[in-house]
Structure 1
Amino acid sequence: MEDNLINVLSINERCFLLKQSGNEKYDIKNLQAWKERKSVLKQDDLDYLIKYKYESLDNFGLGITPIENFPDKEVAIQYIKDQSWYIFFESILDSYNDSEEQLLEVDASYPFRYFLQYARLFLLDLNSELNICTKEFIINLLETLTQELIHLTSKTLVLDLHTFKKNEPLKGNDSSKRFIYYLKKRFNSKKDIIAFYTCYPELMRITVVRMRYFLDNTKQMLIRVTEDLPSIQNCFNIQSSELNSISESQGDSHSRGNTVSTLTFSDGKKIVYKPKINSENKLSDFFEFLNKELEADIYIVKKVTRDTYFYEEYIDNIEINNTEEVKKYYERYGKLIGIAFLFNVTDLHYENIIAHGEYPVIIDNETFFQQNIPIEFGNSATVDAKYKYLDSIMVTGLVPYLAMKDKSDSKDEGVNLSALNFKEQSVPFKILKIKNTFTDEMRFEYQTHIMDTAKNTPIMNNEKISFISYEKYIVTGMKSILMKAKDSKKKILAYINNNLQNLIVRNVIRPTQRYADMLEFSYHPNCFSNAIEREKVLHNMWAYPYKNKKVVHYEFSDLIDGDIPIFYNNISKTSLIASDGCLVEDFYQESALNRCLNKINDLCDKDISIQTVWLEIALNIYNPYKYINDLKNQNSNKYIYTGSELNSKIIQACQKIEKKIFKRAIFNKKTNTVNWIDIKLDQDWNVGILNNNMYDGLPGIFVFYVALKYITKNHKYDYVIECIKNSIYTIPSEDILSAFFGKGSLIYPLLVDYRLNNDINSLNVAVEIADMLIEKKSINNGELKNDWIHGHNSIIKVLLLLSEITEDEKYRKFSLEIFEKLSEEPYFNFRGFGHGIYSYIHLLSKFNRIDKANSLLHKIKESYFEEEPKNNSWCKGTVGELLATIELYDDNISNIDINKTIAYKNKDCLCHGNAGTLEGLIQLAKKDPETYQYKKNKLISYMLNDFEKNNTLKVAGSEYLESLGFFVGISGVGYELLRNLDSEIPNALLFEL
């Protein structure tokens, strides 16, 4: 049995002992079997890990030798018994006074009674010297230790319980009593406890390590409080000199078990003890400066500071008195957003802000002056755009955002961890939780988990007052800070340079939850049975794509002893500081100080406007057309262009549109790629990096450039076209049957490029994508949607085009197969084309189902819809109806009010604006040029006149952030204007060629 103790040895320890015994050879088959086991590590990751953690493959192979192959087990066991942690384990067991056994109530703490008695006597002896805490305080401490030991052991205890049950029936009248019976039998004596921990030797080691940390840190804390008591009493107006209770639930364990603790004195006053690197005095002075110069209204928490720790005022969630104070609270909250943006503050999530009356108070200042973590995303414009996105208010934690989406089934659901969240949330994935606690049916299973609320929402009359209805005050607060900062650059830059050089801040280089998850995985009984199995679990940390993976060594070292890894950075330097003080040199490309100084120096009206739009979008109060609605004297110029003058004006306008798009482009010269950050419409408006999405993504911008090159014959657009192609080919996209989303969204734009510019490569790629979709997709009736944009109607049309171009019937056959399975009912509540019945009628005509098309048109005339259409757009209204029916029969458009349909709109976009109307007029002018050519020119002239006057098209966005997308943005407007110049440019609303 004692031989099993050897399983506590780490890979490096096993290698050392085997080499010491003269054994230099390892089992190649064992190494190969290890490599073939499931892991997220790639070969390069494993090679790096072996080189830097174990020095060589030979060492690693030797270190994973099973214990049964150890030649001299006695030497290995003696080595273990000579380790300080094992000596401490024996001293805990040997010092136990079993005379207290009869007084003990057998409960979940019973397996840990040796540890708890040792800790109790240690604390009593310590307090006899210091006389700083009450009996209740010591009980609190022991409860904290008990909870940690239970947490460490719980998974192993469950497995051991059920293994025990198989060998010996449990006695007792109910499940709880049978569990007590198990505890008494399994942990009855010192010998039994040794036997248990020998089965799980890594659990033995980490339990002792955590026990040592607990005792050392508690002793250090109590000595510090005793020495600092006069300063504490003076600063926080505390009358008592005795600690009465402690709560250690406010933070994670870092740096050898250190954690934030709330200390309550006997007079009821509370303070917070933080054993952390102290930069608080510098930051408090900085906040005073910001309050004076920017009217930041930051609540400055009272503190007593020392070099490596500090105490601070306990901040509680106290009530607000009236609505005016609520307004002040949210305006101050907005100011915090501005401060966080300016000084690169992150991680201000719902647990790090407390609503303290009319002040939102930051209770953890350690994440000011942060860096973008150097991750190996690859080299592309999309990656560059991601880094630019990270340099915004969206990563502060203060604005609503969804975290953990990658762990949900849909990859879209998440939890809002921002400090504006005010309600409980269900985590969108199941979490492994214990069930039937402390019974003989105790087990772990995946269960739904509800996240509790915190203290981040103001309270009035005992009710939480959410930010909803107070959004404008948040926006006002942020804008006021940014405007004042813009006007006070010199003072801010001077203060930072003179006072904040070499400031030490914490760097959160990987989400804390990821560390916590990895720890939980490593607490599996298999890992506690054999230390190298636990190492194997933690090896997965090396899969994270840091550019400098040396940092993972320090993450591993912290995790192996049960700590959440923690890192620091001197903001004047580029190195990272690990929890043990070691440096990871050149972790960053530039210092956090320079990054912040550059941001402040570059701050301008454009930045403020863009961040304001992003904030409005995040708060769900964004009005995409507010900017254009505020423009004055629209249509003031009634001049109507014709002939060559009109054509010249269109060319000028489209070149101006191109300049706007180009100006916002993010190019990567090394990879010849490009991307943009833009406002996009999903279910709601959001800000993001463009993807392969025909509606408002890269493919639409590509189509505009293709048409512009065709019209102008100017090869200066070749580079942009090449870069967009390189981007759309390399951006990960779903294999879904759609012409608007995923890989299928590339087919139509590539066919347009082939049609206009005779690019055979574009045709070949379009064919390749179509073949892949056909091969991968089985057609399931339940998945098919009768809708042009969000359904399958458009991909049917695109495959028909491909069949005509390639003269390959398989595309027509596949499209017909999809078409036959479409239901004609669910999406017919609109008269439009993008979302309505008319895209289906259009497809009927393409498959020569004229009778059925006529039947549906007749039903429409016979009041198929309950009321007359009020919408005159392409997507949901009469422009879409016009485009679908005009190609069938002239008389089928007689039930459309043409004048209303072609009326000038207050929007210019293709989907529901003047550009869509323009396509209708282009079609009408073909039928009746005498009537509609003038009206078409009039519409275009009005659009161009407004564009010239206001320097903006009437699309979603703001002065500096016009939507670029094809269907709702400026690229689609430009394309449609170009189409008026040359009928060879296809009708993109119907995906014609």
Structure 2
Amino acid sequence: MNLSDIEKYFGFENLKLSNIKFSAGDTHSNGKSVCILELNNKRKIVYKPRNMSVDVNLDLFSKEFASQFSLPNVLFLPRTLSKSSYSFVEFVEVKECNSRHDVEMYYENIGMLLAFLHIFGAKDYHGENILSCESYPYLIDNETILHFSEKESIDSSIQRMYDVVTDSVYSVGILPMTLYSVNNDKGMEIGALNSGEKRESPYQTHQLTNIGTDEIRIEKVFKEIEDFPSTVRYMGKTVSCKEYRENVLYGFELIYRIILKNRNKVQKMIMKYFENCETRYIYRNTNIYIQFLETSHHPDLLRNKYDFEMYMLRMLEYGNVDNEFDKSMIKDEINQLKKGDVPIFYTSSSSNEIYNGLHSRIYSLEGDSIIKNVSKRICSLSEENLLRQQRIINMAFMGSELFIKNKKLKGRNLLKKLSSNIIERILSAKLEFNDEISWLNMLAMNKNYEISPMDYNLYGGTSGMILGISSIQDDRLESILRGVIDYTNNYIESCQGNFPLSKLGAFTGIYGYLYVTCVLRQKGIKTVDNSEEFIYNILLSTYNDVRKFDNLDIIGGLAGILAVLVKIEEVMVHSSKVVQLAHVMSEEIVEKLIEVYKKQGYWMENDPGYAHGNYGVITQLFKYSKLCNEESIEKNNIIFCIQDYLNKERSQLKTDKIVPLRKNAKYYSWCNGIVGIVQAKHYLMVNEFPDQYLEEEVRYYVTEILNQRLNIENSICHGNVGNLTIMSSIMGDNSEINKKILSESELYLLDKLTYDCDDWGILTGELGILMANYETGRAMLNNVLLLN
């Protein structure tokens, strides 16, 4: 290439090179790496030792798309002069926005970018791959924009639903997300959309210290990580994406709808620019290679070539060498690593041939080509899918705690009756495969979240959905009940009897489905072919784990399991082996709970609440005591513990009678607040626990709860609708409370329309709200909360 070619393409005159910064990236393909060329005009261009036709074609595609649909530019890429084996690229620097309007436009533009990357099937476009330059999110390093997906045989509904998540905007990498280490209890933002706060790796990584001395060694450290280039900057500060969710959604929907309405045109454009394009094939995370190379430079490995060779063979641990594909790939990885290179692989958008950076063929994969998969993705676009993607975008912001809380849609008119509206939303969000039905949901904690198919739990999973659906007489819901039951049964069967401790509890795990099986058996609804064998096998397979369990609460611990065992004894009276096993387990749990109380004077310290505190244990112990002989030592011990706790609680109350709760608890809530405590006291009272003050206390706290200002939240677990549903159970159904339930339910739905997401379960989701608006649904909810 002549110098004049560069001058002409980039518009430079009298170009002279003043400096070269070598090794501006990883080395690939026999030591080749990116270099930054500093020019005499104070400009820079980037030399890349590879063909960059994808970037060139992406820019051409963007320009034609914008022209075809009368838009300003829709994708932003550095100008690129691409040759057969090398390229020169415009050096784009991070620049802050000039105005608030620029900030808004940046987020709209990144929403458009998200739509395109979703259509292309791009993966892992995290913060390093996007550069913020004023209002433009520049795409850099686009080798992986056309992503090859290995063919997978999907033979279960669970796999199919995970596949829905994998093919969604969730996997693109732009959305807020956190890399989280459970062991270290640390998280680090990795999404291109982020808070702009400082980042530190949640994992300890190997780092050479004391370099240049005879005390060089490898240490494990939590490395500080630089800001992402994708982070927006304005007036010298980083800007969080928190306030700009709606801008992202606007840009995403704009592009999605254009492609949806113009499939054929867009498909032809994609074929025109991306057929037979070379694209990167990602076999393994680059960080593994980098860490591998760094530690391979340790002097102990450099003294003896055989030690070095043996270290390189550790790469075999990262794959299945019995698989021909893995075996071929790992062999080539090792060859590249020996040369000090980060292994790199390529494929073509129109074939499935895998080759390395030197164009040596390695393997040919089965399945559709990249370009065919893009075409399929365009054909699958729909209004239903658009809504699903929008919900996932909302969940990403919510799960990362990057959203403005309590923002309401103004003037939004609920055109249809609330119950019909919620039913239609639940039905429209369902996923169906092989006649099995479930939904997506989100588990979020500590700014970390995971979007996945529902599991079988009672709190927010399909066990709760089954009970909710069965409690409401509606043909539309009844038509899907069997499909949800079949999904749940197959999910549980796939666990093969292996349930971790976190998946045992009445609200969080398998014992919740045992409760559902018993409740539906009483209603004459069949869940499994042989409920006796099913319940017995679950009890037997979990027996030893339950004996070792230290969690005492009702949600995921022994109190909740005790309630389910009592329910099993009540319902399975004709099965002696089930009743005997359930009773043995119940006795052991009760013995443990009594022992804990006599030793400590409480079950959970400083937590009287129902869901995770002492009143949850009290309620289930008393429920169990009703099965005991009147004069039994066991029953007397239970009554003593409960009465002792009540007396101590009363002695500590001040004149305002405010019950001291666990830290950060919502006072007026079921889960950890006074509402759950009152429900427990009412249960003791109506079931004739021998205490003279319960009726007065229940009356006092019910009046206080009904007179207090309502919470901001409206869920069953910790909001107004749940509180009112419990009050209606205590006071008896009355029109005033029912009107309040409807009013708060409408506010809940407005909130959901503002932040539409997949949250359908009974304790925090829409089905619970729906149940609260039916007399039969309220009865079921109150029974579930008490595990009656």
1:727 corresponds, among 466, 488, 491, to 491
Deviates more, 1:306-315 or 1:847-856: 847-856
Q: Secondary structure at the match of 2:128?
A: coil
Residue matched to 1:812: 587
Shift in alpha-carbon separation, 1:586–1:442, aligned structure 2, 3 A: closer
Gaps of 5+ in 1: 1-226, 638-649, 926-931
Task: Please state how far the C-alpha of 1:816 moved relative to its aligned partner.
Answer: 3.6
Q: Secondary structure at the match of 1:351?
A: helix
CA distance in 2 between partners of 1:474 and 1:465 (Å) = 14
1:416 corresponds, among 189, 192, 198, to 189
Residue matched to 2:277: 503
Question: Is residue 289 of structure 1 aligned with residue 68 of structure 2?
Answer: no
Residue matched to 1:394: 170
2:395 corresponds, among 606, 614, 617, to 617
Shift in alpha-carbon separation, 1:970–1:598, aligned structure 2, 3 A: same
CA distance in 2 between partners of 1:546 and 1:660 (Å) = 44
Shift in alpha-carbon separation, 1:816–1:248, aligned structure 2, 3 A: farther
CA distance in 1 between partners of 2:323 and 2:429 (Å) = 29
Residue matched to 1:543: 320
Task: Please state how far the C-alpha of 1:341 moved relative to its aligned partner.
Answer: 2.0
1:695 corresponds, among 435, 459, 467, to 459
Shift in alpha-carbon separation, 1:250–1:604, aligned structure 2, 3 A: farther
Residue matched to 1:851: 643
1:875 corresponds, among 657, 664, 671, to 671
CA distance in 1 between partners of 2:714 and 2:780 (Å) = 26
Q: Tell whether the 8 Å contact from 1:243 to 1:265 is kept in structure 2 after alignment.
A: yes
Task: Please state how far the C-alpha of 1:312 moved relative to its aligned partner.
Answer: 0.8
Shift in alpha-carbon separation, 1:988–1:683, aligned structure 2, 3 A: farther
Residue matched to 1:51: none
Q: Secondary structure at the match of 1:415?
A: strand
Residue matched to 1:676: 439
Q: Secondary structure at the match of 1:896?
A: helix
Q: Tell whether the 8 Å contact from 2:25 to 2:34 is kept in structure 1 after alignment.
A: yes
Q: Tell whether the 8 Å contact from 2:243 to 2:404 is kept in structure 1 after alignment.
A: no
Q: Secondary structure at the match of 1:369?
A: coil
CA distance in 1 between partners of 2:58 and 2:777 (Å) = 61
Question: Is residue 444 of structure 1 aligned with residue 190 of structure 2?
Answer: no
Q: Tell whether the 8 Å contact from 2:392 to 2:758 is kept in structure 1 after alignment.
A: no
Shift in alpha-carbon separation, 1:503–1:361, aligned structure 2, 3 A: same
Paired letter, 1:396 = V
Question: Is residue 794 of structure 1 aligned with residue 560 of structure 2?
Answer: yes
Q: Secondary structure at the match of 1:599?
A: helix
Q: Deviations over 1:820-848 (max 9, x none)?
A: 43667797888863356642542464432
Q: TM-score, normalised by structure 2?
A: 0.78
CA distance in 1 between partners of 2:33 and 2:248 (Å) = 33
Question: Is residue 485 of structure 1 aligned with residue 292 of structure 2?
Answer: no
CA distance in 2 between partners of 1:238 and 1:963 (Å) = 56
CA distance in 1 between partners of 2:768 and 2:182 (Å) = 34
Residue matched to 1:740: 507
Residue matched to 2:374: 596
Residue matched to 1:565: 343
Task: Please state how far the C-alpha of 1:728 moved relative to its aligned partner.
Answer: 2.9
Higher strand proportion: 2
Q: Tell whether the 8 Å contact from 1:353 to 1:419 is kept in structure 2 after alignment.
A: yes
Residue matched to 2:691: none
CA distance in 1 between partners of 2:603 and 2:43 (Å) = 64
Task: Please state how far the C-alpha of 1:735 moved relative to its aligned partner.
Answer: 2.0
Task: Please state how far the C-alpha of 1:263 moved relative to its aligned partner.
Answer: 1.7
Task: Please state how far the C-alpha of 1:302 moved relative to its aligned partner.
Answer: 1.9
Question: Is residue 263 of structure 1 aligned with residue 37 of structure 2?
Answer: yes
Question: Is residue 967 of structure 1 aligned with residue 763 of structure 2?
Answer: yes
Residue matched to 2:413: 632
Q: Tell whether the 8 Å contact from 1:420 to 1:456 is kept in structure 2 after alignment.
A: yes
Q: Tell whether the 8 Å contact from 1:750 to 1:766 is kept in structure 2 after alignment.
A: no
Paired letter, 2:80 = K
Task: Quote the sequence identity (%).
Answer: 21
Q: TM-score, normalised by structure 1?
A: 0.64
Q: Deviations over 1:913-962 (max 9, x none)?
A: 5466445434544xxxxxx466687788x599x89xx9x96785679755
Q: Secondary structure at the match of 2:193?
A: coil
Q: Secondary structure at the match of 2:170?
A: helix
Residue matched to 1:365: 142
Q: Secondary structure at the match of 2:203?
A: coil
CA distance in 2 between partners of 1:710 and 1:492 (Å) = 42
Residue matched to 1:921: 728
Q: Deviations over 1:886-911 (max 9, x none)?
A: 22234442113359549999946465
Instruction: Give the alignment of 1:942-961 within 5 angstroms.
Output: 942=742, 956=752, 961=757
Q: Secondary structure at the match of 2:241?
A: coil
CA distance in 2 between partners of 1:236 and 1:716 (Å) = 61
Q: Deviations over 1:297-330 (max 9, x none)?
A: 4334222221222101111123433333333333
Task: Please state how far the C-alpha of 1:704 moved relative to its aligned partner.
Answer: 4.2
Shift in alpha-carbon separation, 1:936–1:238, aligned structure 2, 3 A: closer
Shift in alpha-carbon separation, 1:372–1:666, aligned structure 2, 3 A: farther
CA distance in 2 between partners of 1:673 and 1:554 (Å) = 43
Shift in alpha-carbon separation, 1:957–1:791, aligned structure 2, 3 A: farther
Q: Tell whether the 8 Å contact from 2:601 to 2:645 is kept in structure 1 after alignment.
A: no
Paired letter, 1:676 = W
Q: Deviations over 1:382-403 (max 9, x none)?
A: 3322221122222222222223
Instruction: Give the alignment of 1:216-231 within 5 angstroms.
Output: 227-231=1-5
Task: Please state how far the C-alpha of 1:450 moved relative to its aligned partner.
Answer: 1.5
Question: Is residue 821 of structure 1 aligned with residue 596 of structure 2?
Answer: yes
Number of aligned pairs? 727
Shift in alpha-carbon separation, 1:521–1:819, aligned structure 2, 3 A: farther
Question: Is residue 298 of structure 1 aligned with residue 62 of structure 2?
Answer: no
Residue matched to 2:533: 761
CA distance in 2 between partners of 1:733 and 1:774 (Å) = 11
Residue matched to 1:277: 51
CA distance in 2 between partners of 1:824 and 1:955 (Å) = 42
Q: Secondary structure at the match of 1:632?
A: coil
Q: Tell whether the 8 Å contact from 1:367 to 1:505 is kept in structure 2 after alignment.
A: yes
Paired letter, 1:289 = E
CA distance in 1 between partners of 2:532 and 2:472 (Å) = 19
Task: Please state how far the C-alpha of 1:964 moved relative to its aligned partner.
Answer: 1.9
Please give the root-mean-square deviation of Cα atoms over the aligned residues, in Å.
4.5
Q: Secondary structure at the match of 1:875?
A: coil
Task: Please state how far the C-alpha of 1:512 moved relative to its aligned partner.
Answer: 1.5
Residue matched to 2:701: 896
Q: Deviations over 1:623-663 (max 9, x none)?
A: 798789865369989xxxxxxxxxxxx9xx79x94x86565
